[in-house]
Amino acid sequence: MSNKKKFETVAIRTQTERTQFSEHSTPLYLTSSFVFDDAEDMRASFAEEKERNLYSRFTNPNTTEFVDKIVAMEGAEAGYAFATGMSSIFSTFAALLNAGDHVVSCRSVFGSTHTMFTKFLPKWNIETSYFKVNEVALLESLIQSNTKIIYIETPTNPGVDILDLELIGKIAKKHNLIYIVDNCFATPYIQQPIKFGADLVIHSATKLIDGQGRVLGGITVGSKELMREIYLFARNTGPAMSPFNAWVLSKSLETLSIRVDRHCENALKVATFLEANKNVTFVKYPFLKSHPQYEIAKKQMKLGGNIVVFEIEGGIAAGCAFLDKIKMCSLSANLGDTRTIVTHPSSTTHGRLSEKDRLEVGITDGLVRISVGLEDVEDIIADIHQALGG
Ligand SMILES: Cc1ncc(COP(=O)(O)O)c(C=O)c1O
């Protein structure tokens, strides 16, 4: 039998060394810094001749435990935990890119990531070229002599489109580019992009990893070599995760697999219900046979995730009316919570985009996104059903 620990065992048994108090569950290390025995101990620690905690902006036992778990779950070598998913994404790019470099990204990425590409990276003369989800064949033609990174999200937010991790991994390898995947919607339980050639994997831990809508967090994991650059950037610029958040998130990981199993079971039932509703023009869920990239989803994902999107006939007004009729589910900006959350992207998160720009990322006027929670699925469906007009 293999000695490699299974997913759930890693999630539960990866643990910071016990203290003299013999605690069972990892305590919270709310401390900004750590003490040294003498001047030599301090010198050697700062010179990185010893692996130890110095200051919680660099490492802390709670963040190390959280990072060690995600590193093992993703099949990575090293990682660093950030205050939010966005600080993880920004720091990863800032650490690896130089002025004049170029990025190729899928157009369907989280809104703030897109803003980073279009508003902030150009300040350092870093440009991004985009391909649409159905244009992966064009990706190679976008690569220039100064391209350094290929960046994707799969499933995408909010459209739940699926990109072929393996295919893009081969292109990245052929051109010697750093391949980065935002794995937030899938979690390492559903999909491990490194298996398909990714060099770095990023998560917003705020979503399913926390899973209970409590804390913000982010993490980047990957090869030792790339993580060293990212670590040095983060250690000196300060986007570190707080020990408290790391403690919460590490506990959350202990139940990740059973929570995600149920989220996905509920989401598939909600998607199947919506497919049969006459007021719904289309439903998108990676594990529905009708999903345009169903075969790719089946190849690279263990389950379909907890996000379902669907379109109500009647455009923006119908989308808003649906939200107004919702009784139990929450109208909130988060996702991946125990509580089911409904959002209407074209009147909220993507409201400032032109209709053309929205359509480019698959957001039609009547599109509704549901982050399916862990309430009894019959109650979730009943709420959606009545809001759709019964
Ligand atoms: C796919 C994706 N990536 C990144 C982020 C950003 O994460 P955070 O809100 O933790 O900064 C989000 C947030 O919704 C997201 O959905």
Are 33 and 118 found together in one domain? yes
- Among protein residues, the one whose CA lies closest to atom 13 of ligand 1: 204
Task: Give, in order, the Cα–Cα distances in Å from 27 to each of 16, 81, 82, 247.
Answer: 9, 18, 20, 8
The answer to the question of residue 1 being in a domain is: no
The confidence score (pLDDT) of residue 272 equals: 98
Name every residue whose Cβ is closer than 8 Å to that of residue 20 and which is 6 or more positions away in sequence.
Answer: none
User: d(Cα 238, Cα 240) in Å, to the nearest integer?
Assistant: 6
The answer to the question of residue 123 being in a domain is: yes
The answer to the question of residue 343 being in a domain is: yes
- Among protein residues, the one whose CA lies closest to atom 9 of ligand 1: 85
Domain final residue, candidates 253, 271, 300: 253
* Burial grade of 218 (CB within 10 A; 0-12, 13-18, 19 or more): buried
- Find out whether 372 and 339 touch, Cβ atoms under 8 Å: no
The confidence score (pLDDT) of residue 359 equals: 85
CA of 110 to the centre of ligand 1 (A): 7
The answer to the question of residue 174 being in a domain is: yes
Instruction: List the one residue out of 89, 31, 95, 113 whose CA is nearest residue 235.
Output: 95
Tally Cβ neighbours within 10 Å of residue 376: 9
Residue 356 has pLDDT above 90, yes or no: no
Are 145 and 236 found together in one domain? yes
The answer to the question of residue 2 being in a domain is: no
Are 229 and 298 found together in one domain? no
Are 227 and 287 found together in one domain? no
Question: Which domain CATH number covers 159?
Answer: 3.40.640.10
Are 23 and 83 found together in one domain? yes
CA of 334 to the centre of ligand 1 (A): 9
Are 20 and 53 found together in one domain? yes
| Confidence category of residue 358, pLDDT binned at 50, 70, 90 | confident
Q: Give residue-wise pLDDT tens across range 263-293.
A: 999 999 999 999 999 999 999 999 999 999 9
Are 102 and 232 found together in one domain? yes
Q: Give residue-wise pLDDT tens across range 314-353.
A: 888 999 999 999 999 999 989 999 999 999 998 888 877 7
Are 72 and 188 found together in one domain? yes
Are 303 and 244 found together in one domain? no
Q: Give residue-wise pLDDT tens across range 165-200.
A: 999 999 999 999 999 999 999 999 999 999 999 999
Tally Cβ neighbours within 10 Å of residue 124: 13
Give the residue numbers spanning the domain of 271. Answer: 256-387
Are 38 and 96 found together in one domain? yes
The confidence score (pLDDT) of residue 353 equals: 79
Ligand 1 within 6 A of 201 CB? no
Ligand 1 within 6 A of 182 CB? yes
CA of 348 to the centre of ligand 1 (A): 16
Q: Which two tokens stand for residue 316?
A: 């923006």
The confidence score (pLDDT) of residue 2 equals: 62
The confidence score (pLDDT) of residue 1 equals: 54
The ligand 1 atom at the shortest distance from the C-alpha of residue 109 is: 1
Q: Give residue-wise pLDDT tens across range 345-355.
A: 988 888 777 88
The ligand 1 atom at the shortest distance from the C-alpha of residue 86 is: 11
Are 149 and 184 found together in one domain? yes
How many structural domains comprise the chain? 2
Are 202 and 218 found together in one domain? yes
Question: Which domain CATH number covers 325?
Answer: 3.90.1150.10
The answer to the question of residue 126 being in a domain is: yes
Domain final residue, candidates 225, 253, 281: 253
The confidence score (pLDDT) of residue 390 equals: 82
The beta-strand segments (E) located in 206-263 are 218-222
pLDDT (mean) for 39-63: 95
Q: Give residue-wise pLDDT tens across range 106-137.
A: 999 999 999 999 999 999 999 999 999 999 99
The answer to the question of residue 235 being in a domain is: yes
User: d(Cα 86, Cα 162) in Å, to the nearest integer?
Assistant: 21
User: d(Cα 271, Cα 285) in Å, to the nearest integer?
Assistant: 7
pLDDT (mean) for 198-206: 98
Tally Cβ neighbours within 10 Å of residue 358: 18
The confidence score (pLDDT) of residue 378 equals: 98
Q: Which two tokens stand for residue 258?
A: 């059973």
The answer to the question of residue 42 being in a domain is: yes
CA of 86 to the centre of ligand 1 (A): 6
Residue 159 has pLDDT above 80, yes or no: yes
The confidence score (pLDDT) of residue 56 equals: 97
CA of 215 to the centre of ligand 1 (A): 12
Domain final residue, candidates 253, 286, 307: 253
